[in-house]
Amino acid sequence: MSDIILELQDLKTYFPVKGSRTQFVKAVDGVSFQVKKGETVGLVGESGCGKSTIGRTIMRFNQPTGGKIIFDGNDITAADMKPFRQRMQMVFQDPYSSLDPRMSVGDIVGEPLDIHNPKMNRKERYDRILEQMKLVGLNSEQLSRFPHEFSGGQRQRISIARAMVIKPEFLVLDEPVSALDVSIQAQIINMLMDLQDQIGMAYLFIAHDLAVVRHISKTVVVMYLGHIMEINTAKDLYRNPLHPYTQALLSAIPIPDPKTSRARRRQVLQGDVPSPINPPSGCVFSTRCPYATEACRSQIPKVEDVGGGHVVSCLRYKEINN
Ligand SMILES: Nc1ncnc2c1ncn2[C@@H]1O[C@H](COP(=O)(O)OP(=O)(O)O)[C@@H](O)[C@H]1O
Ligand SMILES: [Mg+2]
């Protein structure tokens, strides 16, 4: 049996541009990576680079334009998702708009049970909801309350309880803490890690900031404008980033170790992410890369495994890290 719960092979998701028959938003443009059972992959990149689209395409809320999605050995690229819905769930970024304000918390958390397990009797249903509430740090009195009575952090706990109540094996967490205060972020991340230890789900944890995914991720995938720039274990990525984009993202976050901090060249990313409708030729990062040459602007770099699952997509990574 394979230890891979999710695999993306050259996944592409394009959206038609309104009013045009020939133009597409290439939100995801050839992305491959794997998530192992019970482990966390962090998916990081600036806003607009295609992270949510990857999450939504995995769930098949968006339909892939090309490539493959393999879930626990099953090709789900074009499959009927009914048998898989219970095994994979998604938590969304905004804790304010993602909960129905007219439903009680008990009914919100119980809704997936009603959909996937309608024959469950009332007592079983109640017990399961209560158990899940406790797992996310909420209590039985809060079951009859409504979303507006809760803080952002508590609402995100409710969203997580709802996603987990049917015991999925894989969870897409789309910027689950980005809207929350830093102190609350750490609490939610610790809770997610505890739940993973207890229950053994795999996570795809999406964030726009490398600092957020550092402790929860076993592996980190760095993407830019629909493409993968670098993949490495979290341990090695933060210590030895090889791609100039990873280096730039890392130099933007404070790190506690002064030695590493000094050794690292400071880089600030200039300008905005280009449009995925007209992406730059060659390497998509070339218009913002301090090391880009003519070759970078004309050749698309290979997404290369440089050893042990460490992936880099840069023509010049050897030279610039010398
Ligand atoms: N349903 C859609 N229709 C058209 N364009 C979309 C749609 N969803 C996302 N996009 C575009 O795809 C790109 C990637 O978006 P998204 O996946 O939300 O990025 P991220 O989550 O990294 O911020 C953006 O340019 C966005 O405007
Ligand atoms: Mg997003």
Give the Å distance between the CA of 184 and the centre of ligand 2: 20
Residue 266 has pLDDT above 90, yes or no: no
Query: Is residue 182, in this structure, part of any structural domain at all?
Result: yes
Query: Is residue 92, in this structure, part of any structural domain at all?
Result: no
pLDDT digits (tens, 9 = 90+) for 200-252: 999 999 999 999 999 999 999 999 999 999 999 999 999 999 999 999 999 87
Question: CA–CA separation, 241 vs 251, rounded Å?
Answer: 10
Question: Does residue 185 share a domain with residue 154?
Answer: no
Residue ending a domain, among 139, 165, 191, is: 165
Question: Does residue 80 share a domain with residue 148?
Answer: no
Question: Does residue 295 share a domain with residue 208?
Answer: yes
- DSSP result, 114-160: HHH-TT--HHHHHHHHHHHHHHTT--GGGGGS-GGGS-HHHHHHHHH
Neighbours of 260 (CB within 10 A): 13
Closest CA to 33 of 16, 51, 17, 49: 51
Query: Is residue 93, in this structure, part of any structural domain at all?
Result: no
Question: Does residue 208 share a domain with residue 128?
Answer: no
Question: Does residue 123 share a domain with residue 176?
Answer: no
Question: Does residue 110 share a domain with residue 64?
Answer: no
Nearest C-alpha to atom 20 of ligand 1 is from which residue? 48
Residue ending a domain, among 165, 196, 219, is: 165
CA dist 165 → 72, 96, 203 (Å): 20, 20, 15
User: Which secondary-structure segment (H or E) carries 6?
Assistant: strand 4-16
Pocket test for ligand 1, best of 29, 43, 52, 53 (most atoms within 8 A of CB): 53
Query: Is residue 219, in this structure, part of any structural domain at all?
Result: yes
pTM of the model: 0.94
Question: CA–CA separation, 290 vs 283, rounded Å?
Answer: 13
Ligand minimally distant from the alpha carbon of residue 92: 2
Name every protein residue with a CB atom under 6 angstroms from any ligand 1 atom: 15, 25, 27, 45, 47-53, 276
Number of domains in the chain: 2
Closest CA to 171 of 182, 162, 179, 180: 162
Pocket test for ligand 1, best of 13, 20, 25 (most atoms within 8 A of CB): 25
Nearest C-alpha to atom 11 of ligand 1 is from which residue? 27
Residue 308: pLDDT band with limits 50, 70, 90:
confident
- The reported pLDDT for the residue numbered 264 is 55
Atom of ligand 1 nearest to the CA of 16: 4
Nearest C-alpha to atom 2 of ligand 1 is from which residue? 15
Length of the chain: 322
* pLDDT mean across residues, the chain: 93
Residue ending a domain, among 135, 165, 195, is: 165
Residue 261: pLDDT band with limits 50, 70, 90:
low
Nearest C-alpha to atom 18 of ligand 1 is from which residue? 52
Question: Does residue 264 share a domain with residue 117?
Answer: no
pLDDT digits (tens, 9 = 90+) for 138-163: 999 999 999 999 999 999 999 999 99
pLDDT digits (tens, 9 = 90+) for 15-62: 999 988 899 999 999 999 999 999 999 999 999 999 999 999 999 999
Q: List the domain range (segments joined by +) for residue 154.
A: 98-165
Question: Does residue 146 share a domain with residue 242?
Answer: no
